[in-house]
Structures are given as structure tokens and as C-alpha cells.
Structure 1
Amino acid sequence: MQAKLEQRSFLLLLIVVTLLFLYLLKPFFGAVFWACVIALLFHPLHIRLSKRWGGHENMAALATLTVCMALCILPAVFVITSFVQEGHALYERVQSGKLDPAAIMDKLRTSFPMVESLFGRLNIDLDRIKSLATDAAVTSSRFLAQNAVQLGQGTLSFFASLALMIYLAFFLLRDGPELVNLLVRALPLGDEREYQLFGKFAEVTRATVKGNLVVAAVQGALGGLIFWALDIPGPLLWGVVMTMLSLIPVVGASLIWGPVAIYLLAIGHWTQGIILIAFGALVIGLVDNLLRPLLVGRDTKLPDYLVLLSTLGGFALFGINGFVIGPLIAALFIAFWQIFVEEFNPTADAQAVEQQAEELE
């Protein structure tokens, strides 16, 4: 009796202390999460370098992080800086009156009267939408302008998080296998199940990050390129926005190029509008339809609709990190249920259920 009480008390305190520790790490969730992602993505490179250099783990981890910074981190900082500069220029155009969202809405109403009639039947107030569009344009562009230094060059907290992420990634690359073995030993789920779940975690994380980022980068680059070719102001700004929106499956970049194409048609630039619609639907959309199932759905072994739902849910709950966390949770959900079915429902029972189903048919 005393031994059971002591054991239960210890387990209760273990849970409390673990939850307190996780709460303590909450402010650094983004840095810790992306350090784990970097370690998973670049682990094969680290292993290759470690073998080539005779097992010098520190040198291999440092070289791997250098490659990571050259390929990912430094270009991202450059793009963010350029993005904010474009946002500052957009704010100046709005303030000077060169770009007037209200005038754009009026032009759309004049060019497409059927839309106004349709909105009227649906009890949608276009004047209210015009006011909201103006306020949104001013607010967002002002935010980018006022925070150009902070967002472009980085605040102290941004650099602190970046340094913490790189620091943690170094140790995760170097000590990753030992940490996994320690977790397998600590968790009471059974070693075989734990290795299966850790394998699924690594597989889905790599596929989701690489697949979604490749698709988003390609779509954003194509969108910025066509904006530049059609002489649409701020091609880099809109290219970056399309890159971020492309993390959302199906709709993604069309949320930007679609309204711009409609506006071009409304002001009489038919050639530009038709080219943008054709390029967006046939080229940018084709990238999403071909690459995303190939790079994300195939490797995560998730159906397209589940990838979409889990990605949207991840965005809603976890922000920008959700495009990885959402599909990851969905994949672990499927993995847990597969383990449950395999271990708690024998094949014979499954075959019997199938036979009964065939008889009913």
C-alpha cells in the first residue's frame, strides 16, 4: 500500500514538474520547434559529414549549421528586409493618394454592376466593404512602415530567438540519436511503438516542411515574376505575400493574383488581366496541383483533404508554425490508430467484418 502511494505521488509530481517545465519553455516555443525541424531536415547531411570527418560530431554539426544558414536563414532575412521596404513604399503611395482603395472599389462597382446587384440581394453592403478595404490598406501599410527597422533588420527578440534556435539546433544535430534513445527508454509505450512514432514524426516533418516550402517558394517566385512582367507595382512585396499564402493548400496564391486580375479587367487593361488569369490558373495553380500531392501527400501518406483540413486547423491554432504542426498532428493521429488496429484488432476479426459487409451488400 505504502509503495503504491509513493509511486503514485512520484508520478503526480513528475507530471506537474514536466508541465511546469513545458510552461517555462512556452516563450521559446518557436525557437525550440524550428531547432527540431532544422535538426530533422539536416540530419542526413550531418551524418554524412560526421562519417567523412572520422566521427568529429562538433565539426560536423557546425558545418551543417553553416550550410543551413547559407541556404535558408540568410536568404530569409534578406527577403524579409526587402518585403518591409516594399511595404514602406506601399504606405507612402497610400498616404500620397497614388493608391486609393476606395477609388479601386468604385471602379470595380462601375465595371461590374452585376456584382453590386448580387451583393445587394445577399444584403452585403459594398460601402462598408469599401471602408474596410481602405482602413485595412492604411493600417497594414502603416504597420509595415512603422516597423520597417524592427521587421527588416530584426529586433533584439528576433535575434535572440534566432541565436537560440541555432544554438539548440547544434546540440540536437550532435546529440539527436542519444536524445531519441533516452526518450524511448523513458516513455512507457513500448520500444517498437515509440520508434515507429518517432519515425513517423521525422518523416512527416521533413515531407511537410520541404514540400510546402518548395511549393510556396515556387508559387511566390512565379507570382512575383508575372507581376514584374506585367509592370504591377510591388512585385517583390506581392511575391512574398503569395509565398506565405501558398502555405495554404488549394486557394493560396490565388487570393492575391485573382483580385489583381479582376482589377486589371475593371480598369480596361484586358490584355494584362487575361494574361494574369491564364498564368495564375495554368502555371501557378498547376504547381500546387502537381507538386503538393507529390511532395507532401505522398510522403506523409495523408489524403489531400486531410492535408488541407489539418493545415488550416494548424494555422488557426498555432499561427505560421501550423503548416507543419497541423499535418504532423494528423499523421500522428493516423499512426496511433493504425497501431491500435494492428495490435488490438486481429486480422481475422477484420476479415470477418469484411465478409459480413460483403454479405450485406
Structure 2
Amino acid sequence: MNAPRPLKSTRLESKAFLLLLVGVTLAFGWVLWPFYGAVFWGVVMAILFYPLYRRLLHVLKQRRNTAALLTLVVILVLVILPTVLVVATLVREANVVYQRIQSGELNIPLYLAQVYEALPRWVTELLDRAGLGNLTEIQERVTASLRQISQFVATQALSIGQNTLNLFVGFFVMLYLMFFLLRDGAGLARRIREAVPLNGDHKRELSAKFATVVKATVKGNVLVALAQGALGGIAFAVLGIHAPLLWAVLMALLSLLPAVGAGLVWGPVALYFLVTGSVAKGAILVAYGVLVIGLVDNLLRPVLVGKDTKMPDYVVLISTLGGMALFGLNGFVIGPVIAAMFMAVWDLFGVERTQAVQWMDGGRSVTAEVPAPIPPAIKQEDGPAPPSAS
């Protein structure tokens, strides 16, 4: 008869296996890190378009490969190709603006001088007290900043040209991953849930929360960005502002920041119109920005983002800013997802703790027979139950 294994050895093996599990998981994440953007967006797109895949799967009588391939074609046509066309047009307009700045046709220091001269006296006095009254120094700083921005843009363009192969590889990885996540995603998610050592109810709630936040954040922020960018671009085109598509895309990107995004573009332009004598254009742009562009953010974002994620606006703003600071453009999804999971986990912890306290209180009242009376002066609300009277 074999002797039982020592308990100490069993614990040591469990710790060693747990250490091995953490190590290989971190190593796998390290291997995937160069393509984390492609993997991340592959997962996001699979989550967003999974309902479409399920419908196609039903129509095609459970032909999983065909349904996944057709869903991938829909993603290419509706999402990826329009994005590529907009980016190509944006690069062309950005190059035109850069050429105009280099040639002096677009003279930023001159525009600053016009704005400064049109400011009221009390504003210029405040600027003098703040050390911003030296217009020549400000122009030099702005020129230096524009030069640095131009160098950065040129460097990034060169880097993109040199890393074309990496872009194509990342694009292929994203499409390849989307196909298999659509086809086998349900089984993979089930295996992950089974492997995670948590309570079944907790796992279901956290997985549902993750999918809900991803859908709400991407759909809500993208729809708000598209709406604000399009409305801003139309206004700029009507007012005769050069490169309206460039400013529209810039407003769309900045609108990912709740409450303040698009105003960082149309606000300075409206101010320039007002102080340089184009009062009608400035007033129209201010009214349009506040009542139309701003109204889109105030109405759509709480409905599309805050309602489903059940997060306050300030949490969405802070998590979006922090996510974009850490992860770049991908952070507008990663940040709110982390914040939502943080709140969900702490809510579950609070519920568990409350239930545990209630259970302990209930057990105490059942097991105690006849508690001995405690004088009011030494009565304790918390602590061990008083001994039973015998």
C-alpha cells in the first residue's frame, strides 16, 4: 500500500505550478506585445460584430467558416476601407498645410500678432503680468514649436514608410485573429471562464461587463466622434476655412475626450474670427459649436457610453485621458474598460463582504441561546457574541 503524499510537498507543488503558470502567461504576453494593437482591435471587432456573425450563422445553417468569412468581408467594407480612404485624404491635406507653412503662405506668427493687437487693454495687461506680453518671444516659441511638430510629422511619416511591412503584418494578424475569434470565440470564452478560479456568478458578471463596456465605448465614442467631426468639417467648409477635412478629422480625434474635445479646434478659430474683425463668422461658429457640435456630445455620449457602462462622466473622462496617455489612441477603449472592471470588481467585493457580515450576524443569532444582559455602559455593537447563560 502506497504511503500518502506529504501535505507539505503538495503545497510546494501547487506553488511551483502557480509560479510556472504566471511565468508562461507573462512570456506569452511578451511575445504578443509587438502586435498588441492588432490583437486588441481583433478582439474588439470580434466582440462588436459577433451578433452579425450569429445571424449569418443561422441563415447559412451553421456553416461557421462561411459565416465568419462573410462577417470579415462586412468589416472590411464598412470599417477598414473607409478608414484607409480617410487617412489617405488626411495625409494629402496635411501635406498641403505643411507646404503652405513652409512657404510662408500660412503665417502663424502674423495671425498671432493680429490677435494680440485686437485684444482689449485689460487682457494685454493681464498677459504682461503673467509674462506673456512679449509678442516677439511668443512668436519665437510658436515658430520653434511648429518646427518641432513638422520634424516630428516628417519623422513619423518616414517611420511609417520604413515600417510598411510591419503595418501589413499587423493588419494580416488582425484579420486572421478576427476570423478565428468569430468562428471559435464562444468556445474560447467558455474555456477561459472555466479556467479562471472565481465564483461562477462573478465570472459571468465580469465577462458580461467587459463585453458591454467594449461595445458601448467603441460604438458610443466612434459615433460621437464621427458626428462631431462631420458637423465641424461642414461648418469649416461653409465658412471658407482651408483644409476642412483635416480639421474635421482633428475634431473627431479630440472628441474622444468627453466635454472638451472638439472645442479645442473650433474655439481658437472662432476667437481668431472675433478678434480680427470677422465678428459674424466668429459668432456663427461659436453658436454652431455650442448649440450643435456641443449638443451632440451632451446628448449622445451619456446615452451611448454612460448609460451602458453605468460610469459617471468624470470617470469616463479621466480614464479616457489616462488610457490615451499610456496606450495612445487604443487607450480610449482600454482606459474605460479598466475603469469599468475596477468598479465592477469592487462592487462585487462590497456585495460579498455585506453578505458575509449578514451571514455571520445571522449565524450568531441562531447559535446563541439566551444572551446574558449587558449593561448599557459596556454594551458593544461589534465584537464576539456574549457567552450564553447556563
TM-score if structure 2 supplies the norm length? 0.85
Tell me which residue corresponds to 2:355: 346
**Paired residue for 1:116, among 124, 131, 137?**
124
Percent of aligned pairs sharing the same letter: 49
Tell me which residue corresponds to 2:3: none
Q: Give unmatched runs, 5+ long, in structure 2.
A: 1-7, 362-390
Tell me which residue corresponds to 1:157: 166
In structure 2, C-alpha distance between the alignment counterparts of 1:227 and 1:80, rounded to whole Å: 19
Tell me which residue corresponds to 1:310: 319
1:311·1:323 contact (CA, 8 Å) conserved in 2?
yes
Which string of whole-angstrom CA distances, capped at 9 and with x for unpartnered residues, describes residues 257-287 of structure 1?
A: 0001111122221111111111111100010
**After the TM superposition, which residues 76-87 of structure 1 pair with which residues of structure 2 at under 5 Å, given as runs?**
76-87=83-94
Deviation of 1:191 after TM superposition, in Å, equals 2.2
In structure 2, C-alpha distance between the alignment counterparts of 1:216 and 1:152, rounded to whole Å: 28
Tell me which residue corresponds to 1:321: 330
Larger helix share, 1 or 2: 1
Change (3 A) 1:157 1:129: farther
* Secondary structure of the structure 2 residue equivalent to 1:231: coil
1:215·1:246 contact (CA, 8 Å) conserved in 2?
yes
What code does the residue aligned with 2:28 have? F
**Paired residue for 1:18, among 14, 25, 42?**
25
Which string of whole-angstrom CA distances, capped at 9 and with x for unpartnered residues, describes residues 4-49 of structure 1?
A: 2122111111111111111111111111110010000000000010
Q: Give unmatched runs, 5+ long, in structure 1.
A: 353-361
CA RMSD of aligned residues (A): 2.3
Is it true that 1:93 corresponds to 2:104 in the alignment? no
Tell me which residue corresponds to 1:107: 114
Tell me which residue corresponds to 2:385: none
Which string of whole-angstrom CA distances, capped at 9 and with x for unpartnered residues, describes residues 137-185 of structure 1?
A: 3443455467668769982222221111111111111111111111011
* Secondary structure of the structure 2 residue equivalent to 1:161: helix
Range moving further from structure 2, 336-345 or 226-235: 336-345
Range moving further from structure 2, 323-332 or 129-138: 129-138
In structure 2, C-alpha distance between the alignment counterparts of 1:86 and 1:153, rounded to whole Å: 21
**Paired residue for 1:130, among 139, 147, 169?**
139
In structure 1, C-alpha distance between the alignment counterparts of 2:169 and 2:142, rounded to whole Å: 36
In structure 2, C-alpha distance between the alignment counterparts of 1:33 and 1:129, rounded to whole Å: 42
TM-score if structure 1 supplies the norm length? 0.92
Structure with bigger gyration radius: 2
Change (3 A) 1:64 1:154: farther
**Paired residue for 1:196, among 202, 205, 227?**
205
Runs of 4+ off more than 6 Å: none
In structure 1, C-alpha distance between the alignment counterparts of 2:329 and 2:112, rounded to whole Å: 30
Deviation of 1:122 after TM superposition, in Å, equals 2.4
In structure 2, C-alpha distance between the alignment counterparts of 1:126 and 1:6, rounded to whole Å: 71
Is it true that 1:298 corresponds to 2:310 in the alignment? no
Range moving further from structure 2, 142-151 or 224-233: 142-151
* Secondary structure of the structure 2 residue equivalent to 1:232: coil
Tell me which residue corresponds to 2:64: 57
What code does the residue aligned with 1:98 have? E
Tell me which residue corresponds to 1:73: 80
Change (3 A) 1:140 1:87: farther
2:114·2:276 contact (CA, 8 Å) conserved in 1?
yes
What code does the residue aligned with 1:63 have? L
In structure 2, C-alpha distance between the alignment counterparts of 1:248 and 1:153, rounded to whole Å: 31
In structure 2, C-alpha distance between the alignment counterparts of 1:158 and 1:272, rounded to whole Å: 42
Q: How many residues are aligned here?
A: 352
**Paired residue for 1:177, among 168, 186, 195?**
186
In structure 1, C-alpha distance between the alignment counterparts of 2:228 and 2:41, rounded to whole Å: 23
1:80·1:151 contact (CA, 8 Å) conserved in 2?
no
